[in-house]
């Protein structure tokens, strides 16, 4: 698995992921929206942490030079 995300991309994903998880767990969102927010947030955190995005790979995109 090759890296396909730049450092800036990874930081942005991590920040958005933390915010989405916080909103879902913190009670700002309820029901299905909270669950979706948590799942999307966790996916963003994971892809930011490992530096690989399967969607980028499928579309042959790279933000890493």
Residue 11 binned pLDDT confidence (cut-offs 50, 70, 90): very high
Q: Where are the alpha helices (DSSP H) in the chain?
A: 7-26, 31-50, 54-58
The token duo for 65 is 């030079």
- Alpha carbons 14 and 43: distance in angstroms, whole number: 10
CB 42 within 8 A of CB 25: no
- Alpha carbons 1 and 21: distance in angstroms, whole number: 26
Q: What is the pLDDT of residues 21-54, one digit of tens each?
A: 999 999 899 999 999 999 999 999 999 999 999 9
């Amino acid at each position: 698995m090759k890296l396909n995300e730049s450092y800036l991309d990874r930081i942005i994903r991590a920040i958005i992921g933390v915010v989405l998880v916080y909103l879902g767990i913190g009670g700002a969102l309820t029901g299905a929206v909270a669950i979706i927010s948590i799942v999307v947030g966790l996916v963003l955190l994971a892809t930011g942490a490992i530096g690989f995005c399967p969607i980028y790979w499928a579309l042959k995109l790279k933000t890493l030079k």
